[in-house]
Amino acid sequence: MRKFVLFTVIFILITSCIMVAPVYQFFSHRGDVPMPPWGYVTIPAESPRFSQVEDDRYPQAAGKATETLEEHRQNINSPGISAAVAIEGKLVWAGGSGWADIEAGKPVSKLTQFRIGSTSKALTSTLLARLVQENILGLDTPLATMDVGNLNPGWRNITARQLASHMAGLPHYGDSTEWTGLYRFMTLNTRYEDVLDAVHLFDDSDLLFAPGEDFSYSSLGTVLLSAVMQEAANVPYRQLMQTEVLEPLGMEHTYAEPPVGKATADMARFYWRSDESKPIVRPWRDVDLSHRLAGGGFVSTPSDLVKLGLGFIDNRFISADVRKQFWTTQTLNNGEENEQHYAIGWRVPTYEYGEGIGGLMLANHGGVSRGSQSWLMVIPQYKMALAVNINANTETFWDFGSVSTELARIFIKVQQQSKPK
């Protein structure tokens, strides 16, 4: 009897540790509880750089852009940074500085892959645009007319448009009221190969509001959208993305992040830090982000991401009519524009670039992931796409993303100077 009790106690303790450890890791990486004092590394003071010029009109711009990137990397104390600029249908420059993996002494290169977080939504929006263009899925078709598994009855009137523009009423990760899903969102140690399996993590959760009545940013809504597209096309979401977007655009280095322990040779190592004013970081814990694939689970490179941007302004890939729909700020049921000027999978503000350039419409999507941040923007007026990635997090997103405006100015000025007067 004593042996049985001892065995039971040991079993309970081990099981509790297995269940609680990932939760502790979740909160420690958020800064809510102390991180263990070991495991830190210092970012080397000397940083390798690379700059690859693909167009002979831009050698000086490339040099200035590379210097700008390195200065920015030092300012935000990121281990590595990488960027790319594409203009008029082709890549013109790729550059970066710092380390893809500090411990291994591996520098950032053009092929270094980063987690792109919510920039994945621009990928998913592009797939949706393709399906709309091919009359496979209507933006305003309610889920009630489709067979998307045994889902929440409250979702019957939700449309693809509302899911892609965050007006469906679905919660974001932390607002979900389904406890099993909440636990999985914290542990991040389960693999989901089918997007519908991931939907079941939150399909009993309450809606925040009736569809179309308000705006609330929701990556879970994008996950549900991926299941809707999968059902409409009768093709698995990952396969759809491959055949409709990645292959046509030649995005060979973009895909769902591999399972834990199976990272590609080009994958960056991702880092956590408590104080971005200091060059001290620690490797991020191993996580599986497959449950959020469509809304935040892809990996890519800046040189691949600008292909996505160029593709969206190529009439052969996305028609002008469909592009106009997807890059128009969406309105609520009362006719008012949503508070974030969010379109269909993209933000579309007008940004002021200053004297000599002025205000420009800027289609964009940023992303924050575990130990990584991403930014993709498209400036249609200059037929330009620009992407930047780092393998760390900043406290304020624009502390990272602001470098994109300076890079854009550098290349826009060359375009202006090269135009016939």
What number of CA atoms fall less than 13 Å from residue 420's CA on the CB side?
0
Distance CA 37, CA 52 (A): 39
Contacting residues for 288 by C-beta, under 8 A, at least 6 apart: 188, 189, 190, 191, 257, 259, 260
pLDDT (0 to 100) of residue 148 = 80
**Category of 322 on φ-ψ map: left (φ > 0), alpha (ψ -120 to 50) or beta:** alpha
Q: How far is CA 141 from the centre of its chain?
A: 26
Distance CA 195, CA 228 (A): 10
What's this model's pTM, rounded to 2 decimal places? 0.93
> Residue 183: is its pLDDT beyond 90?
no
CATH superfamily to which 46-120+239-418 belongs = DD-peptidase/beta-lactamase superfamily (3.40.710.10)
Q: How confident is the model at residue 186 (pLDDT cuts 50, 70, 90)?
A: confident
Tokens at 342, concatenated: 């969010």
Q: What percent of the chain has pLDDT over 90?
A: 76
Q: Which residue has the tokens 């990556």?
A: 219
Distance CA 19, CA 183 (A): 9
Alpha-carbon torsion, ordered 395, 220, 113, 50, to 10 deg: -40
pLDDT, tens digit, for every residue of 40-85? 999 999 999 999 999 999 999 999 999 999 999 999 999 999 999 9
Amino acid at 120: S
pLDDT, tens digit, for every residue of 2-48? 555 455 545 444 444 455 666 656 666 676 667 778 889 999 999 99
